[in-house]
Chain A
Amino acid sequence: MNTPSTATRPDFAAIAHWIPAQSHVLDLGCGDGTLLRYLRASRQITGYGVEIDDGNILACVQQGTPVIQRDLEQGLSDFDDGSFDVVILSQTLQAMRNTERIMREMLRVGRAGIVTFPNFGYWRNRLHILGGRMPISDTLPFEWFDTPNVHLCTMADFEGFCRERGIRILGKTVLTGGRPVTRFDNLLGELAVYHFSG
């Protein structure tokens, strides 16, 4: 998946904030396993990553992060109901074809879920659109023709989606340039982190 592999990704701390110590965690689209290693160090978690890309599998194996090669679009049939404390989908939601299914699956196998995604409602993105072009930024680094992102949404869209499906939002952190945003977040927020349960 399109997960940047920097150890300092701003959403990591926000995610860790909602991960109880020693919990059992599933990281969907785990990339090279950086987030899981971060959580292992900061929260002493156990758990697995799920990845489809051979290069990322290799990176995880090289660094000793347990990883399962699987296409998330196929669902999570490998995992039992309620077998994880938290299931994370970090900067991958927008690249999923079947958004509803993955959200449902996250809540089936986990007691809680965390998703992070680039907020399409961020003012700079709106400005790009007003200027007549698709936005390109740190969180949306792709040209329209080669982007893996198929389901971009705004925070208002995501909250509506959850409301309509009875998904309870337990908390959210909104970041711009790594700093928290507290007001007009759908306009001023670049990256959204949601904590939710069924």
Chain B
Amino acid sequence: MSQLTVSPESEVRSVGIVEPRVAHFDEPLTLRSGFTLDRYQLCYETYGQLNAEASNAVLVCHALNASHHVAGRYADQPDNVGWWDNMIGPGKPLDTDRFFVIGVNNLGGCHGSTGPASLNHATGRPWGGDFPVVTVEDWVDTQARLADRLGIRQFAAVMGGSLGAMQSLCWALRYPDRLRHSLVIACAPNLSAQNIAFNEVARQAILTDPDFHDGHYLDKGTKPTRGLRIARMIGHITYLSDDEMANKFGRQLKQSRLGFSFETEFQIESYLRHQGNKFADYFDANTYLRITKALDYFDPASEHAGDLASALQPVRASMLVISFTTDWRFSPERSREIVDALLKNRATVSYAEIDAPHGHDAFLLDDPRYHRLVAAYFARIHRETAP
């Protein structure tokens, strides 16, 4: 068996300097909520070359806090490395020497696509709290329009982890003939009550921040920073496994003795505060609220009396479903629900359960078994795609 290896040089095999682009859409878009957006823009990046048949395009969908900046770095911000740079690049598992890779900032985002912080042309002020709630289906619809714009009728693959995986699953049911493969990583067919509960605590942290002003905080020249910080801290707790947190931080103190105060004392406190502060600096609270709603609403089986197999009936793409053993937020059991439904339908599906210690975050990390598997899958897609 020839083993594809991910060597340590993967760090230097980068797509290099990249530049975001913007696509404007003037055709009205009716969202799942019934709200119609008259116009909007999507910010995106591409890596690699689209081949003459336009058959080697791969769409990478982002999860909660990420963006269209999937790989490479910006000339003016050399430290701003794409969020999935370890996965995507020349010679990396998703090899940009073979594939034309697209990252899109989702509608409602805060990285250049139209979102709550954008100007509402009807009022001349930022949308703020008036920006509609968007769903996974809405995102997939806008991504399809971007694909039209780029001349891509059918993706070689759509790929994502977590909320991004919900989009790649949604693609397979909503546009079954517009993708040949779907990679569904660390996903769930819907959120559990526990997951919705975490999201609701995060939302309440933002909504009850005195600086929130019903979402119109930009008009007031302020931001609900405290709320967003707490929301992120809650999120971070759920992305790590108990073991990983114990290994990384344990009960370590920053100082050698207890301070009997409410300053940051334990390393885990320091970590969470750092993550919260960092996030609140660059992320928009209104976007966070909407993305957590999109997570909560995703439930393809709900329109099929809870029957997931029936909901997944339209799937024609070959599916690769991957879960991580220590992911308690989107556990392997939840991925297996998707797999079971696909098996019932006799769909083409492979499923791998990666024994990784890192919890939900594992999908972003450089686990060799995981990366080898994705590399093998894309190598095979390349063999099918090559003329």
A interface residues with partner B (beta carbon < 8 Å): 5, 24, 32, 46, 48, 54-55, 57-70, 78-80, 83
A78 CB contact (under 8 Å) in B318, B336, B372, B380: B336
Contacts of B348 in A (CB 8 A): 66
Q: Is the CB of A57 within 8 A of B343?
A: no
User: For the complex, what is the distance from the CA of A64 to the CA of B318, rounded to whole Å?
Assistant: 10
Q: Does A54 contact B369, Cβ atoms closer than 8 Å?
A: yes
27 residue pairs from A and B, CB less than 8 Å apart:
A32-B1, A46-B346, A54-B352, A57-B373, A58-B369, A58-B372, A58-B376, A59-B1, A60-B350, A61-B373, A61-B380, A62-B1, A62-B2, A62-B376, A62-B379, A63-B380, A64-B384, A66-B318, A66-B348, A66-B349, A68-B339, A68-B350, A68-B351, A69-B351, A70-B353, A79-B343, A80-B343
Total interface residues on B, CB under 8 Å, equals 27
| Cα–Cα distance between A83 and B380 once the two chains are bound (Å) | 28
For the complex, give the distance between the alpha carbons of A66 and B317 in Å: 13
List, in ascending order, chain B residues with CB within 8 A of A63's CB. 380
- What separation, in Å, do the CA atoms of A134 and B73 have in the docked complex? 61
Whether A48 lies near B376 (C-beta < 8 A) is no
Contacts A58-B372, A59-B1, A62-B1 known; list 16 others, CB within 8 Å. A24-B346, A32-B1, A57-B352, A57-B373, A58-B369, A61-B320, A61-B376, A63-B380, A64-B380, A64-B384, A65-B350, A66-B318, A66-B350, A68-B343, A68-B351, A70-B351
Task: Return chain A residues, CB-CB under 8 Å to B339.
Answer: 68, 78
User: In the assembled complex, which residues on chain A have CB atoms less than 8 Å from the CB atom of B251?
Assistant: none
The 8 closest A-B pairs by CB, nearest first: A62-B376, A68-B351, A59-B1, A69-B352, A61-B376, A69-B353, A67-B350, A78-B340
- Type the 1/0 row for B364-387, where 1 means its CB is closer than 8 Å to any CB of A: 000001001100110110001000
Q: Check: B344 CB closer than 8 A to any chain A CB.
A: yes
Q: In the complex, what distance in Å separates the CA atom of A59 from the CA atom of B3?
A: 8
**Highest count of chain A CB atoms <10 Å: which of B320, B350, B376, B379:** B350
Listed residue (B4, B348, B351, B372) with the most chain A CB atoms within 10 angstroms of its CB: B351
- Please state if B350 and A83 are interface contacts (CB–CB under 8 Å): no
Question: Which residues of B are found within 8 Å of A78, using beta-carbon distances?
Answer: 336, 339-340, 343
**Is the contact region of chain A dominated by helix, strand, or loop, or is it mixed?**
mixed
- Per the bound structure, the CA–CA distance linking A80 and B346 in Å amounts to 11
**In the complex, are the beta carbons of A83 and B343 less than 8 A apart?**
yes
Residue ID in chain A nearest B347 by CB atoms: A66
Q: How far is the CA of A5 from the CA of B2 in the complex (A)?
A: 13
- Give the distance in Å from the alpha carbon of A70 to the alpha carbon of B2 in the complex: 23
- Whether the Cβ atoms of A61 and B377 lie closer than 8 Å is yes
Q: In the docked arrangement, what's the CA distance between A78 and B340, Å?
A: 6
Closest residue of chain B to A77 (Cβ to Cβ) is B340
State the Cβ distance, A116 to closest chain B Cβ, in Å. Answer: 22
- The answer to whether A61 and B350 touch (CB under 8 A), given A5-B1, A78-B336, is yes
Option from B343, B372, B373, B379 in Cβ contact (under 8 Å) with A48: B343
Q: A32 to chain B: which residues have CB within 8 Å? A: 1
A59 and B351 alpha carbons, distance in the complex (Å) = 13
CA distance A54 to B340 in the complex (A): 20
* Interface positions of B from 310 to 330, Cβ below 8 Å from A: 318, 320
A83–B343 Cα gap in the complex (Å)? 9
Q: How far is the CA of A24 from the CA of B380 in the complex (A)?
A: 23
Least CB separation from B1: chain A residue: A59
A32, A63, A68 interface centre (most CB from chain B within 10 Å) = A68
What residue in chain B is nearest A49 (Cβ atoms)?
Answer: B350
Residues of chain B lying within 8 A (CB to CB) of residue A5: 1
Shortest Cβ distance from residue A60 to the other chain B in the assembled complex, whole angstroms: 7
Task: Report the separation of the CA atoms of residues A78 and B320 in the bound assembly, to the nearest whole angstrom.
Answer: 16
Shortest Cβ gap from B159 to chain A (Å): 14
Query: Which chain A residues border B373 with CB–CB below 8 Å?
Result: 57-58, 61
| Least distance between A177 CB and chain B CB atoms (Å) | 26
Chain B residues, Cβ within 8 Å of A61:
320, 350, 352, 373, 376-377, 380
> Which residue in chain B gives the minimum CB-CB distance to A26?
B343
